[in-house]
Structure 1
Amino acid sequence: MLAHTPEPPYYTVIFTSVRTEVNEGYADTAARMVELAAGQPGFLGVESARNDVGITVSYWANLEAIRNWKHQAEHTLARHQGRKNWYQCFKTRICLVERDYSFERQPE
């Protein structure tokens, strides 16, 4: 399912990663982070996919909401666990969405 976002402008955080072989605790923590982010002021939605490279895109109302999420205590602990156990490498990109458009197939 794709995230339902408002009319631009809004922000995205694009988190791309390559995992290690360690799986213990990862799925539960990832699910908890989505649950926790959804409760943060300014959170708009999230989309995620994983193959050899994982990509998670979260959508936010403004930069302040992103900063607050970064400094949320439980999220900070999860980031430390990720560096220690789950990620071979990752990159975070913060972007301003100035325009978006969509397509949805209608039932025949």
Structure 2
Amino acid sequence: MSAIAKLPTPPYYAVIFSSERTEGDKGYGLMADKMVELASRQTGYLGIESARDEALGITVSYWASLESIKAWKDNAAHQVAQQRGKSEWYQSFALRISKVERDYYFDR
């Protein structure tokens, strides 16, 4: 199974979350897994891709609309995770929202 999300024909939206972590797990891994599972049940969710090395993590989630992104941002459980991220897990982060107008996919 590919780690690359299979997505519908554009347009759709990408939420790009880049982060630098603090030291130690402090429950981060469990919460990250919970958030992926919860996001996947949200209306408008299309898929996710994520990669992390020692210094930088990048997660891109894909959504059908700006309204579905806003609903996910406002989800109560997600808000708890966001607050813990600011207080415990992230040294710094950036979040960017982009409209995908074209995409290409290759699979051998």
Asked if Structure 1 and Structure 2 have the same fold, meaning a TM-score greater than 0.5 normalized by the shorter chain, the answer is: yes
Aligned twin of 2:102: 99
Q: Distance in 1 between matches of 2:82 and 2:76?
A: 10
TM-score (norm: length of structure 1): 0.96
1:28 maps to amino acid = L
What pairs with 1:1-108 in structure 2 (closer than 5 Å)? 1-51=3-53, 52-105=55-108
> Identity of paired residues, percent?
56
- CA RMSD, 1 decimal: 0.5
Number of aligned residue pairs: 105
Query: Alpha-carbon deviations, 1:26-59, whole Å to 9, x = none?
Result: 0000000000000000000000000111000000
Shift of 1:22: 3.1
Gaps of 5+ in 1: none
* Misfit runs of 4+, over 6 Å: none
- 2: distance between equivalents of 1:44 and 1:38? 8
8 A contact 1:22–1:85 mirrored in 2: no
Per-residue CA deviations over 1:59-100 (Å, capped at 9, x if unaligned) read 000000000000000000000000000000000000000000
C-alpha separation in 1, matches of 2:80 and 2:9: 33
